[in-house]
Structure formats: structure tokens, C-alpha cells
Amino acid sequence: MYFTRRSYTLLQKKMPMLPKEQSTAWLAMIVSLLSRDLRTLIISISALALISASFYELYRMSVVNPYFAHAFFVPWASLYALWAYRQRIFVNTCFSPLEGALFLSLGIFLAYLAGHYKSSLASPDYFCLLLLSKIIAIMGIFVANWGRRAFRNAIFPLFFLLFMVPIPSFLFDPLVHFLTSKSATVLAWVFEIAGIPFVREGFVFQLPVVDIEIVHDCSGIRSALGLTMVSVFAGNLFLKSNWHRLVLVAVTVAVSIIKNGLRIATIALVANYVNEDWVANHEQSGKPFLVLALLFIFLALWLLRLSETRWLPHHIKEV
């Protein structure tokens, strides 16, 4: 008699399983579950250890460079994004040790470079390599445990961790110069619109009573980085079009520059017409302008989201 594979399978299902075979099947299933849970537990502990080490490195970096104090909020935001997108990320997972090993190898290599060239690197550059190596290692752990498809679906939560990485010196200095230059331009516009006489020499503004110089510490880069991080996170959560997300980030950069120019203009006018000592005691003057900038950014987010609810089904492909 000839049996096909399908008929053999049906016969197997109809045949009662012997007690010994049943116990063996249960044992195999239990071992499989235990090994999977144990693997997940070990990988999760490794990821938490790397995140904890990253927090320690962030603390050390913030002591040296206060421009990146916002980085402490990045891991929590990434974890929230993972939780928010959990149904899409973990819908199809698999164990991918080879792909994860590639990320881990790159992370180990960057950590080696950071340790080997620590003495010759500037402090931000050293922390850049060190934190970047840990983030890449976390990506490797994620790929190894949940696979490439889950990694593709978790691109945003994982790559958002890059906001923890300090900007290297070869990019940081030009960025500070750019923000300082544009803030000076906004300051000149404010003086011209208000009809205030001034003489400008580079970043120095000579007013009738005081002279104002925009140094790199007044570039507004700390608030600009924090606002950009907020806009990227909010745009990914609440907007569906990548173009709208880019518009939100562009609006955030423009608002950051205008906000900083208005802050410096307010300090200069108060020092020129009210109290000259205001220039030396202006450290807390940026908080009201930061609140106004956040309100304007959230207004832009609301308008973009409103436009998507009206036009997205007909004109914009959801991403």
C-alpha cells in the first residue's frame, strides 16, 4: 500500500501517543522554552549592563562637557518608543546570532579604538567612540535575539540612541560657529527693526551704553540639540509623512536660532537701558524663551498633524 506524506501525517495525528513518547515530547518542549527564556534573559541583562555603563559614561561626559545634559533622557525615550511600537516590532522574531555578531564585532572594534587612542583624543571624541561602541553593541544584542525583521521595524527606537553620542570636535566647532553667526544675524535684525543704533564688528555689537559680544558659549547649541531631539521624537510618534517630519525638524532649527537671537537682544536691551549688570547675571534668562520655543514647535506639530488628517488619505502615502 502506498502512503503519501500527508496521509502519514494524518495517521500520526490519529494514532495515540505512547506515555514514553508523550513524556519525551513534553520534556523537549520544556527544554526549548527554558533555553529560549534563558537566552532572552541573558541577552536582556547584557543590554541593561551596557545601558547602565552608558549612563555612567554620560555622567562622566556631562561633568566635562555640559552641552549634552539632555542625553540622559534618550534611553528612556527609546524604551518608550519600543513599547509604543511593540506590536509592529515583535510580530515576527527569530534568533540571528550571525547578524548580531557583526554588530558586536564593530562595537568591540570601536571600543578598542577609544581605549587605544584615549590619550591622543579630545574628551568629546573619546566619549563619542565609547558611547557609539556601546550603542552598536546594543543593536547587535537586539538583532541576535529578535532578528533582522524586528531590527528593521525598530530602526527609530534603536537609532534614536545616537542622540546620546556627543558630537565629535570636527563637527561640533563648525556647528557652534554656524549657530553663533545666525544668532548674530537675528540680533542685528532686531536692533534694526527696533531702531536702536549699534555698530557691529563680527560678533561684537557696540550699543550707546554697553558692548555685547556673542561668544561660543552663547551660541544656543545646548537648547538647539535638546529641541531637535524633542522634535525628532515627537515627529516620529505623531506624524506619518517623512516630509512632514523633516519640516518639523527644519522649523525647530529655525526656532532655536531665532529664540537665541531674541534672548541675546533682550539681555542687550535690558543692559543698555535698565541695568548694565544684567549682562553678567543672565544665566537663567533662557528658560522663558525655551518655553516659548517649545510652544511654537508644538504648534507647528499640531498644524502638520492636522494637515495629515485632512490630506494624508488622498495625497500622501503613509510610511
> What local confidence, expressed as pLDDT, does residue 104 receive?
84
| Interval 202-212: pLDDT, tens | 888 888 888 88
Mean pLDDT of 252-259: 94
Looking at per-residue confidence, does 192 or 63 come out higher?
A: 192
Model confidence at 266: pLDDT above 80: yes
> What local confidence, expressed as pLDDT, does residue 154 receive?
92
Look at the block and give the residue holding cell 547649541.
Answer: 221
Look at the block and give the residue holding cell 501517543.
Answer: 17
Element (H, E) at 205: strand 204-206
Mean pLDDT of 31-60: 59
Secondary structure (3-state) at 200: strand
| 159 and 251 both lie in a single domain | no
Rounded CA separation 7/113 (Å): 61
Res. 64 pLDDT band, cuts 50 70 90: low
| Domain range for 180 | 170-315
Q: Which of 164, 193, 217 marks a domain boundary?
A: 164
Percent of the chain, pLDDT > 70? 72
Assigned C-alpha cell, 152: 528593521
229 contacts 253 by C-beta, under 8 angstroms: no
Looking at per-residue confidence, does 253 or 221 come out higher?
A: 253
154 contacts 180 by C-beta, under 8 angstroms: no
> What local confidence, expressed as pLDDT, does residue 257 receive?
94
| 103 and 149 both lie in a single domain | yes
Q: Which residues neighbour 139 within 8 Å (Cβ) at sequence distance 6 or greater?
A: 103, 107, 151, 158
| Interval 149-193: pLDDT, tens | 989 999 999 999 999 888 888 898 899 999 999 999 999 999 998
* CA distances, 276 to each of 25, 45, 279, 281, 288 (Å): 84, 56, 6, 10, 21
Q: Which of 147, 164, 181 marks a domain boundary?
A: 164
| Interval 82-126: pLDDT, tens | 999 988 888 888 878 888 889 888 988 988 888 888 888 887 788
| 68 and 140 both lie in a single domain | yes
Report the number of distinct structural domains present in the chain: 2
Looking at per-residue confidence, does 237 or 27 come out higher?
A: 237
| 126 and 36 both lie in a single domain | yes
Res. 315 pLDDT band, cuts 50 70 90: very low
182 assigned to some structural domain: yes
Rounded CA separation 30/225 (Å): 49
| 200 and 262 both lie in a single domain | yes
> What local confidence, expressed as pLDDT, does residue 216 receive?
81
Q: Which residues neighbour 51 within 8 Å (Cβ) at sequence distance 6 or greater?
A: 75, 134, 138
pTM: 0.77
